[in-house]
Structure 1
Amino acid sequence: MNQGSGPEPEQLSMAKCAKLLNVPWRHVRRMIKRGVFAQPAGHDSAGQPYWHRRSLYAWAAADRDLLGRVPLHHWRPPTAQARYLGAETIEDRATALGWHTAAGPVWMLWHWDFDAATYERDLTELAKHLPGAAAITMVGGDYGADGPALFGVLPAAPARPVYEMPWPALSNVIGMPAPFWPRRLRIPDLMNAWRPGHTPVVAAAVPDLDPTPMLRLAVIVDEDSPAQQTLLNLVQTWQHRATMEATSDLKVLEKHTTAATTTVAATPLAVPAVEKNDLAPDIRRAGWLEILARTDDLALTCIRQARQCDADEDFPYTIDAHGASADASPRSDPPSDVERSRRTRRLRLTAWIAMLVATISVSTLILGANAPLTETELAKLRREAGLFGKERLKIGVKADTPGIALQEETGRRSFRGFDIDIAYMIAADLGYPPDKVDFLAIETEDRARMQTLDANGRFVRVDLVLVTFNVTLSRQQDLSVGLSAPYLYTEQSVVTRSDYPGKITSLEQLAGKKVCTLSASSSEQELKRVTKAIATGKNRISDCVAGLKKNAFDAVTADAAILAGFVAESEGVLRHHDIALQKTEMWAVNAGPNEALRTLVDLSLYRSSTIPQDRRWEQAYETYIDPMLSANPGVNVAQAEQPCVLPSRVRRWPWERPFPVNECPAR
């Protein structure tokens, strides 16, 4: 019997053990008969032996012939440091660093352009270029609790899926700290030149967009002209932001790793802190007027890059997205130096627009009206959402709901629960790491107003609200409420003391009973609609549960996911009843009237629900909701699959990579 609070480990039969180790089951049976196989963890009701995954891997890790079939984080620590083999470049898209261990070569892959949507396929394909490896790992694009994400494949079991391991597992196997390059410093030449014990190399960070076209055009145009100033300012801005991102990566790394597990291989070269707004708007508009008047491909490339980084807001006129017409009137009067050559530029502009019309018209035919959608206007959405220059994100959450959102002590990061992890997920996609997120406890009645009290007792407005906010028709029609796509499905239920006579299967059975629920909630509305119970509304569900335990109430009704944590913690004092309501309660994020922010939240939920490798939602469910299920038998606490999310209506351009399109079933 499992004496801990976690779920019982999976019981592996002989056949499952064989499959896990990628060996014939007859081979396992022979080893069992000879008494040389791992000791079973127990026997099932039919008397057949079973094993647990952890103990099976621990046994296999001691056998060199089986070690290549064991995930790296189950390997035993070496008795000495592994010998560094050097670096290899694979298919001009990845660098592999190798160490020779007692079990054989262990490789660490750095993909030059890591993609969360394709990393499993990429890792499997790249591993084929490293024959004879005992283990192969690849560094991911985000961070876990103990360091950067790290994935692996089993060379001796190629049919097994890619698995994730803790970052310290690699340093534990090679017997030395593993090297780390910030994303903006993953430069092949730097990685090829690295050796254990080297001091970190100082290098220029690499921006997302290649600055070469901008610099080439800056050399061609007149010296110190508005065009040259605009191009150089934009390149310097990119360089500064890439440097800041690399610096931020290293700060996050420092918080999640130690010197024993990680060594920094490169640090960013200090560059001037330049931003686009450092150059006067009239100069930027004049500069783009000069560039837009050009008819060469180099200028067109620079204009495309400007659109990708949201610099097109400085264009002195707008161009119709379909290329059918153009408003060539300046957004403001150009400077005098532009006025002198207006006639010449006008002629060149006409030619350029004609070329653009042809280019975009052909692209429109290729794309079609219902092409896949992308995050084309992400930067513009961030600006419209008010996130530019906003250093911290304020999120209103519950503070009294175990498993969902519980404040355990005072302080910014003292909240934990499913809603908290979902909030962190959305905040990260908005550009805010955990240390830039402020959680504020918010009452149920204040969810729509998005207001709460800060530590000083003053009312403040939060940016987002994640407080078990159900989607209802009235809330969707409220202009002050902006609900995202749902992020959890649950249903209304009832909790009583365990000594309550009989089983409650409908709200009608609560007629004449003293029932507590959350005020201004959908549960309160449903309770008053179908029964004549003596209803009491509270702002905090914990007050209802406390009153129930003291016999002040006969029952409490709310969403099952809200009540399940209280039941799980009650040690048998409370009992959960499934009342079989057909209505599904759908929890959503409230972004208020900020439509751009709501779109960004939907993009985050869409990414999480669409990309199979993005398991942040599943990890939150497994961490907080799944452990509550055993204490709430017979109750549909919450669906274990993230609700389907449709792609946001965000415009894309012909040169941008699309996201896949979700098709959600009707509910």
Structure 2
Amino acid sequence: MNARRLRAGLRGWGGVGAMAVACALALVFALVLACTGTPADDAAGTTGRPVTHVVPAQTDEECTDPEKQTLSPSRADGDTIEAIKNRRGEKRKLVVGVDQNSYRWGYRDPNSGESGRLEGFDIDLVHRIAEDILGDPDAVQFKAIPTDQRIPAIQDGRVDMVVRTMTINCARMQEVAFSAPYFKTGQQVLAPKSSPVEGYDETLANRKICTAAGSTAYAKLEEDKKAGRLPESTDIRTTVPNQLDCLVRLQLGEADAVVTDGALAASQAAQDPTVQLKGEAFTTEYYGVAMKKDADDLVRRVNQILVDFREDTEDGWQASYEEWLSATLGGDPSKSEPPAPVYARKD
């Protein structure tokens, strides 16, 4: 475990100067498949649709505790898993939508010595899923998916699943199926250390806020502004395809603050020592693995994998947290641990 910590300590970008490297890499790879081999099944597609997928606020009164609305675990193979296993040759891979520029979650570390290799907490989970289903942790075709393309990529069959710091909520459950939660977080404000912004409060008046298009952060800002819980003068029009773009906007002075998941905000603060988290998290959210609504066997299998991942004390959830996230979120993972799973969804 100490070796894992050491490797994590050696990884990092840090500072505005290195951010230029990260942004350059992101631009280079933005429309390129991140593969561990040759492309997988052509039916998965290779490009995203130029459509902004907006996630509305949770207004469905019948939807409560969305993180509990998933299927019970199972190791059985069904039609979805069989189709994945029946891919031949180099195409026999799990096709997964991920991020490529969220530091310590899914990112390309220019200091890793392995050009183009994706690393991070979400990436560890993807390898675990691939190993369980296909017997090879590297049997994965990674696809870099912008925030607003996560749901369309699943629905169009471009990916088998999305593992990309994706919050489970009622609106999204109308369009995709989720696993049980694998991480707990909440929305938080990120701003320059010198900024008078103090958190998610009246200090955001007359400030320009940046969020990712299609994110729960934007949905929350829009909802609160309409309800009068956010100052009327707060400008929430700045949206970008990916969270890292918000940090760049902040550095360029084109935004006054960023609202995003606290887990991602902490990683961005680690990249740039001139910014910091402001105030406490003002929501409670859970990340889940997203899949097609009718992929029941895959949902059940992923839920079983998550049970095993949590119970693995040597190379599971805890070890991955220590390697990737302890440096930004602290050594105590208890605040980030998901709740005991509840499988309330019926067939």
Regarding TM over 0.5, the answer is yes
Change (3 A) 1:460 1:414: farther
- Give the corresponding residue for 1:291: none
Q: Between Structure 1 and Structure 2, whose CA radius of gyration is higher? A: 1
- Give the corresponding residue for 2:335: 639
Change (3 A) 1:616 1:528: same
Change (3 A) 1:648 1:389: farther
Contact in 2 for aligned 1:486/1:588 (Cα 8 Å): yes
- Within a 5 Å distance, the mapping from 1:553-592 to structure 2 comes to 553-570=255-272, 572-581=273-282, 583-592=283-292
The reply on whether 1:499 has 2:194 as its aligned counterpart is yes
CA distance in 2, matches of 1:415, 1:588: 19
The reply on whether 1:431 has 2:134 as its aligned counterpart is yes
CA distance in 2, matches of 1:645, 1:412: 37
Identity %: 26
- Give the corresponding residue for 1:490: 185
CA distance in 1, matches of 2:105, 2:167: 14
CA shift for structure 1 position 472: 1.0
Contact in 1 for aligned 2:154/2:291 (Cα 8 Å): no
DSSP-derived class of the 2:172 partner: helix
The reply on whether 1:618 has 2:314 as its aligned counterpart is no
What is the CA deviation profile of residues 456-484 of structure 1, one whole-angstrom value per residue up to 9, with x for unaligned ones? xxx97011101111111111122xx1111
CA shift for structure 1 position 488: 0.4
Q: 1:603 aligns with which of 299, 304, 307?
A: 304
CA shift for structure 1 position 451: 6.0
Amino acid at match of 1:590: A
CA distance in 2, matches of 1:460, 1:645: 27
CA shift for structure 1 position 502: 5.5
Change (3 A) 1:638 1:522: farther
CA distance in 1, matches of 2:158, 2:300: 19
Q: 2:217 aligns with which of 492, 511, 523?
A: 523
CA shift for structure 1 position 400: 1.1
Q: 2:120 aligns with which of 412, 417, 422?
A: 417
What is the CA deviation profile of residues 171-206 of structure 1, one whole-angstrom value per residue up to 9, with x for unaligned ones? xxxxxxxxxxxxxxxxxxxxxxxxxxxxxxxxxxxx
Greater relative contact order structure (CA < 8 Å, 6+ sep): 2
Amino acid at match of 2:130: A
DSSP-derived class of the 2:85 partner: coil
- Give the corresponding residue for 1:461: 158
TM-score calculated relative to the size of structure 2: 0.68
- Give the corresponding residue for 2:147: 444
Amino acid at match of 1:490: T
CA distance in 2, matches of 1:518, 1:476: 19
Amino acid at match of 1:445: D
CA distance in 2, matches of 1:626, 1:445: 28
Change (3 A) 1:383 1:592: closer
CA distance in 1, matches of 2:166, 2:8: 29
Contact in 2 for aligned 1:488/1:587 (Cα 8 Å): yes
Change (3 A) 1:413 1:435: farther
The reply on whether 1:397 has 2:94 as its aligned counterpart is no
- Give the corresponding residue for 2:40: none
CA distance in 1, matches of 2:125, 2:241: 23
- Give the corresponding residue for 2:174: 477
DSSP-derived class of the 2:188 partner: strand
Contact in 1 for aligned 2:154/2:292 (Cα 8 Å): no
CA distance in 2, matches of 1:413, 1:547: 25
Change (3 A) 1:548 1:467: same
CA shift for structure 1 position 620: 1.0
Query: Structure 1, unaligned stretches of length 5 or more?
Result: 8-372, 453-458, 652-667
Change (3 A) 1:464 1:578: same
CA shift for structure 1 position 501: 2.4
What is the CA deviation profile of residues 201-229 of structure 1, one whole-angstrom value per residue up to 9, with x for unaligned ones? xxxxxxxxxxxxxxxxxxxxxxxxxxxxx
- Give the corresponding residue for 2:251: 549
- Within a 5 Å distance, the mapping from 1:158-307 to structure 2 comes to none
CA shift for structure 1 position 512: 2.1
CA distance in 2, matches of 1:374, 1:621: 23
Change (3 A) 1:449 1:586: same
CA distance in 1, matches of 2:243, 2:197: 24
Change (3 A) 1:643 1:502: same
CA distance in 1, matches of 2:307, 2:202: 38
CA distance in 2, matches of 1:451, 1:646: 24
Contact in 1 for aligned 2:185/2:261 (Cα 8 Å): yes
Change (3 A) 1:430 1:398: same
Contact in 1 for aligned 2:263/2:329 (Cα 8 Å): no
Amino acid at match of 1:639: K
DSSP-derived class of the 1:620 partner: helix
| Number of residues of Structure 1 aligned to a counterpart in Structure 2 | 265
Contact in 2 for aligned 1:493/1:578 (Cα 8 Å): yes
CA distance in 1, matches of 2:159, 2:73: 28
CA distance in 2, matches of 1:497, 1:401: 19
Contact in 2 for aligned 1:513/1:534 (Cα 8 Å): yes
What is the CA deviation profile of residues 621-662 of structure 1, one whole-angstrom value per residue up to 9, with x for unaligned ones? 1111101136xx9xx9983434422469999xxxxxxxxxxx
CA distance in 1, matches of 2:142, 2:8: 27
CA shift for structure 1 position 431: 2.3
CA distance in 2, matches of 1:562, 1:405: 11
What is the CA deviation profile of residues 204-257 of structure 1, one whole-angstrom value per residue up to 9, with x for unaligned ones? xxxxxxxxxxxxxxxxxxxxxxxxxxxxxxxxxxxxxxxxxxxxxxxxxxxxxx
Change (3 A) 1:613 1:647: farther
- Give the corresponding residue for 1:627: 327
DSSP-derived class of the 1:469 partner: coil
CA distance in 1, matches of 2:157, 2:101: 20
The reply on whether 1:406 has 2:104 as its aligned counterpart is no
Contact in 1 for aligned 2:197/2:204 (Cα 8 Å): no
Q: 1:386 aligns with which of 80, 83, 97?
A: 83
- Within a 5 Å distance, the mapping from 1:28-177 to structure 2 comes to none
Query: Structure 2, unaligned stretches of length 5 or more?
Result: 1-5, 10-71, 225-229
Change (3 A) 1:616 1:415: same
Change (3 A) 1:538 1:432: farther
Contact in 2 for aligned 1:564/1:637 (Cα 8 Å): no
Amino acid at match of 2:308: R
CA distance in 1, matches of 2:333, 2:278: 11
The reply on whether 1:540 has 2:242 as its aligned counterpart is yes
Change (3 A) 1:472 1:385: farther
DSSP-derived class of the 2:292 partner: coil
DSSP-derived class of the 1:430 partner: helix
DSSP-derived class of the 1:394 partner: strand
DSSP-derived class of the 1:447 partner: helix
